[in-house]
Amino acid sequence: MNDQSAPSAAAPGDARMHVRAIHQSKGHGILMRIMVLTMRHPWQVAITVVSTIIACGLQLWMPVLLGQAVDHAEGVINGGAGAADALWTTAMIMLVVSVGRGIFTMWQNYFGEAVGHFTAYELRLAVYEKIQRLSFSYHDKVHTGDLITVGMLDLEGVRMFFATGVLRVVLLGILIGVGAYMMLSTDLWLGVLALAFVPFVAWRSSVMHITLRLTWMKLQDLLQVVSRVMEENLGGIRVVRAFAAQDHELEKFDKASDAALELAHKRVDFRVVNTAVTNLSFFISMGLVLWVGGEKVASGVMSVGTLATFLTFMTILQMPVRQLGLLVNSFSRAATCGQRLFAFLDQEVEIADRPQAKPLNVTKGTLRFENVGFAYPSAPDRQVLQGVSFEARRGQTIGLVGAPGSGKSTIAHLIPRFYDVTAGAVTIDGQNVADVSLDSLRKHVAVVQQDSFLFTTNIENNIAYGDPWAKETRIARSAESAQLHNYIMGLPTGYQTVVGERGVSLSGGQRQRLNIARSLMLHPAVMVFDDSTAAVDAGTEQRIRSAMKRFSRDRVTMIISHRLSSLMHADQILFIENGQVIERGTHAELLELGGRYRELYDLQVRPSDDQMEAAQ
């Protein structure tokens, strides 16, 4: 038992091979598929099964040896002569059998568990890989909590299947089958009595384990409610205090808590009734064996040793029979967990490279929207964009304005192909974005989102997220341009300060600036700022803009904002309403036009009360 069984040194190629193998196992039934994946480790499986068989055999030998020993001691067999020698022999065999059973049980358990962990490792990789590959539209509709359940709990259910399910079938099959045969062939009626508890306990414990698992899940849901009540309360503690609502909050807590407690009590009742009753049935069986066996011993048709063998068989069988419930539960758990896990892994990736996809070749750096129409896959009847056309050349800035929900962000999401257009085309230098390879496209298109994710790591790693090999000097320069450098240097640990969920929390404006710094690390042909300065004050924004002048010379820049001052300088401004471009031109042209843009401008720059009324 050494580390040879663990996969050898870092070999990412192997890791990708595992992922492929898991995808190739598609097409089998759920449990069969788990077995196919398990059998990718044939040696470990073989060792496990062989060890199990040997361990069971040795275990079954023990009651026989005990019986023999008792009979030798009573002098039943050799009439006393040589009994001492016989005792010695039996004792030595017993010792060897016992040691052997220990060693083989160890191998059985270790390798059984190892096989599960290997499979879990491979499945983990496949889940992670899939999560990263599934397109936005999938992540839009699936709750993150559900994905976490798949990746953690469902994976566990599948992992346990070999050790607690399949292997137990072998184990119990041998123990109960051979044990029953040995007892029944020794004495039919006594054997029947000794086994009488088996079906009852098997049934009760199956029902119990399945029910306990189901109520456990229900209990987790109820506890989730309790935890949500508390989390909201603590997160919104100022509101609670402001409205002096502590009593109301405690009431809410009690309601949730009492519901969970009630179910917890029910579970205890259910569990205990079942374990107590299985104990009872076992002891009754044992009592009957003792009684009937005792009568037989008394009438001389059976030796005390044989009776001892029967009783020992029963104690040996007691544990595995109770575990029948675990076995049944393991199958049912693996079936439900496996179903969810494989359904997730087999999910079609909507946005993927087309078969003949070539890398994007940027020459002039021209972005074009040609009559683009779009509807989200979840609501195909609702047109989000209609007939959107424009062209932007390298060095140009294009501004998008419009009310929330008018479709501005959607335009931004179509360029890196987070979604596919439903009509028309988006092209870069004449190449349809849908025809080029995804990784090359996304290398050339950067979208700075309104609220993008901060990873729990230091600021340096966060800024270099898109270019992890960048030098420190470049990271610092990006932060400078994003007007974040001074703030970072003011922190005690500077660029090494950990931010994110478990680190220092940044304000909305600081997060957005970090985000901008992050995108300045890239060299995209198209750069989109999707309302990415909403929480940055106007003055700082002005300075970011001037710092970026040189940066924008070599690419198309698209700015989406509510704040007109952010995009007044653009070479072309598009006013979007209901998914259509209703006005376009430079700032001056649009003011001249006196349309919707003009209205918005008047409202924003110096709104007086009567103007607001008028605009209404």
Please report, as residue ranges, which positions from 558 to 597 form the binding site for another protein (by CB under 8 A).
562-563
Angle (nearest 5°) at CA 429 between 361 and 405:
115
User: Which residue, 166 or 521, has its beta carbon nearer to another protein?
Assistant: 521
For the chain, what is the radius of gyration of the CA atoms?
36
Shortest spacing between CB 132 and another protein, in angstroms: 4
SS3 of 590-615: the string is HHHHCCHHHHHHHHHHCCCHHHHHHH
Q: Contact between 470 and another protein (CB under 8 A)?
A: yes
Q: If we measure between CA atoms, which residue out of 93, 95, 97, 75 comes closest to residue 84?
A: 75
Shortest spacing between CB 180 and another protein, in angstroms: 20
* Residue position matching structure tokens 């008028």: 614
* Residue position matching structure tokens 């290997």: 118
In whole angstroms, give the CA distance from residue 491 to residue 63.
72
Interaction with another protein in 489-518: which residues (CB under 8 A)? Answer: 490, 498, 500-503, 508-509, 518
In whole angstroms, give the CA distance from residue 466 to residue 446.
10
Among 26, 28, 141, 241, binds another protein (CB under 8 A): 241
User: Which residue, 135 or 431, has its beta carbon nearer to another protein?
Assistant: 135
Interaction with another protein in 272-291: which residues (CB under 8 A)? Answer: 272-273, 275-277, 279-280, 283-284, 286-287, 290-291
In whole angstroms, give the CA distance from residue 597 to residue 192.
91
User: Which residue, 23 or 543, has its beta carbon nearer to another protein?
Assistant: 543
Q: What is the longest distance spanned by two Cα atoms in the chain?
A: 124
Where do the DSSP E strands lie in 474-570? 526-530, 556-560
Among 41, 322, 442, 587, binds another protein (CB under 8 A): 442
Interaction with another protein in 10-49: which residues (CB under 8 A)? Answer: 10, 12, 15
User: Which residue, 29 or 508, has its beta carbon nearer to another protein?
Assistant: 508
Among 400, 488, 514, 522, binds another protein (CB under 8 A): 522
Q: Contact between 228 and another protein (CB under 8 A)?
A: yes
Select from 119-127, 181-189, 325-333, 361-369 the region that touches another protein (CB under 8 A): 119-127
Among 35, 39, 49, 120, binds another protein (CB under 8 A): 120
User: Which residue, 297 or 335, has its beta carbon nearer to another protein?
Assistant: 297
Residues in the interface with another protein (CB under 8 A) total 192
Q: Contact between 546 and another protein (CB under 8 A)?
A: yes
What Cα–Cα distance (Å) separates residue 598 from each residue in 569, 584, 590? 15, 12, 7
User: Which residue, 24 or 616, has its beta carbon nearer to another protein?
Assistant: 616
Among 17, 106, 169, 217, binds another protein (CB under 8 A): 106
Q: What are 74's two structure tokens? A: 């009573």
User: Which residue, 382 or 502, has its beta carbon nearer to another protein?
Assistant: 502
Q: Contact between 382 and another protein (CB under 8 A)?
A: no
Q: Which amino acid is at 422?
A: T
In whole angstroms, give the CA distance from residue 463 to residue 475.
7
Q: Contact between 358 and another protein (CB under 8 A)?
A: no
In whole angstroms, give the CA distance from residue 334 to residue 159.
8
* H or E segment and range at residue 348: none
